[in-house]
Structure 1
């Protein structure tokens, strides 16, 4: 049982896709599939249930997960130890951060990175997905936390999904809609909508969902700050459509979070240029054993 095979197993389990796992591991998809089949033969049990649309862990796969994570963590720790002993890992890491990064596992990963590599300076650049993706492509940023477009990322990018979530409605608690179990997009068409601006990576997901439902998408107010969306809802402006991963509305008694009948899922990921451009500090960050990505899955 090889370390690389266990890392491929982890990639498939966490990405829930052989294609995304192959991109993450920088190998062709057949190579990932071959490694998993060999591991299943070695262990004598199937590790994944596969159909045309989904990849799920079997009971055997669930049993293997903690062992695979422990091995991956041990390898990362050994690399970190010898990088620190040799004093080779210095320099700078430039990371872009779109809205919602504080609800992802990236801050915890950066904390672990700082403890292991205190000689690396990290520069965090705020921005929207639309502004950060070109900076990664051009090389002015090593990586960025951005929203994954509805059609997926270009093959030029490697990526690691850190959040899987969906859009929810935020309604004033004294309004009738706040008492409903879920709201349809048609029910929102007669109400002023408050949601993300055109530069947000979540805007294309909203546009596509409204188009699929045959409902006009006409936001009355646009802001990428969920806290401001909540204040506008509380002030009686309308209903907001915001990321469910942002937990602040749930703790505000003035508003109520209501699911949508037509789910609008999205993912946010750390992306970087694929190929030989990856800097040593970024490779070290990507090698860290990271927490399970925050999810809001069906």
Structure 2
């Protein structure tokens, strides 16, 4: 069994066809088909069901693919570790971030990182904090930037708090709350009379506000849910609702009035990474961020299990 054969199997599974897989792998289709047939013969089972219209995994193929992907990832990591030991950072860096990240200038960080380590392939995923933390725990992501309540805990990851913040209220220009807010911080009881737009129920972006109102014995009307801050801001800008957002983030929004809140929701932005594995590319990113022991060491130095010296 050869790594190239595993790559061919993964490519066919990803693209749904031998022709597209061959194009991705930069080989002729006959060579790719021959290697997969050779692997199937060695395994004693067909990995794909082929018809004139489609190609799909057999039950044996579905069982084989996850282990094949793990083997490919391990091989890529081994190559990256060797390169790091000889003074070169390469491989992949998979990052995740919430859309309302405000503690760092992420585009600038990525630009600087790419300039320093041009042989590292960088990818970025945007999602909810709880999903990003789970992807870091599983190893799908190397690191992630989260926005969570102070009580939030995620298993299997290490973390560093980047900023602690409070929420403020954002309203459309001319909203009645604008004049009231000019006299001082708004009370939660007054805000509970308003119609809100917020992020999806169950998300940590929503929980930060929900927990604060619940602790005060108050209920608020969330008539609108938004999956992204741009749509949320547009609803507020058009006078459909008010919203509570982190004070560090609202400076990025235009056409809105920002009002202080007494005892508003607390929020933290955190950087998280795996507690058990850290690639050389990930260690280099942490070092550039100045985070912990991983950041303080030379990421090109030989590493033991879990990316530790």
What is the TM-score of this pair, normalised by structure 2? 0.60
State the SS of the aligned residue for 2:204. Answer: coil
Deviation at 1:272, TM superposition (A): 0.9
Deviation at 1:86, TM superposition (A): 4.0
Q: 2: CA distance between counterparts of 1:264 and 1:107?
A: 27
Q: Which residue of 1 aligns with 2:162?
A: 162
Q: 1: CA distance between counterparts of 2:157 and 2:84?
A: 29
Q: 1: CA distance between counterparts of 2:281 and 2:273?
A: 12
Deviation at 1:258, TM superposition (A): 0.4
The aligned runs of 1:10-49 (5 Å cut-off) are none
Deviation at 1:198, TM superposition (A): 2.0
State the SS of the aligned residue for 1:288. Answer: helix
Counterparts in 2 of 1:197 and 1:89: CA distance versus 1, 3 Å: same
Q: Which residue of 1 aligns with 2:189?
A: 186
State the SS of the aligned residue for 2:177. Answer: helix
Q: Which residue of 2 aligns with 1:234?
A: 237
Deviations 1:220-250 (A, max 9, x none): 1111423222221232212111222223566
Q: 1: CA distance between counterparts of 2:248 and 2:145?
A: 15
Q: Which residue of 2 aligns with 1:260?
A: 261
**Does the CA-based 8 Å contact 1:106-1:162 persist in structure 2?**
no
Q: 2: CA distance between counterparts of 1:265 and 1:184?
A: 15
Kindly indicate whether residue 191 of structure 2 is the aligned counterpart of residue 198 of structure 1: no
Larger mean Cα displacement after TM superposition, 239-248 or 186-195: 239-248
Q: Which residue of 1 aligns with 2:115?
A: 115
**Does the CA-based 8 Å contact 1:129-1:199 persist in structure 2?**
no
Q: 1: CA distance between counterparts of 2:105 and 2:162?
A: 6
**Does the CA-based 8 Å contact 1:170-1:249 persist in structure 2?**
no
Deviation at 1:108, TM superposition (A): 3.1
Q: Which runs of 5+ in 2 are unaligned?
A: 1-82, 292-309
Aligned residues: 206
Larger mean Cα displacement after TM superposition, 99-108 or 113-122: 99-108
Q: Which residue of 2 aligns with 1:131?
A: 131
Bigger relative contact order (CA 8 A; separation at least 6): 1
Deviation at 1:162, TM superposition (A): 2.9
Q: Which residue of 1 aligns with 2:98?
A: 98
Deviations 1:34-93 (A, max 9, x none): xxxxxxxxxxxxxxxxxxxxxxxxxxxxxxxxxxxxxxxxxxxxxxxxx88945311001
Q: 2: CA distance between counterparts of 1:196 and 1:168?
A: 15
State the structure with more CA Rg: 2
Q: 2: CA distance between counterparts of 1:172 and 1:110?
A: 34
What is the TM-score of this pair, normalised by structure 1? 0.62
Q: Which runs of 5+ in 1 are unaligned?
A: 1-82, 292-298
Counterparts in 2 of 1:135 and 1:107: CA distance versus 1, 3 Å: same
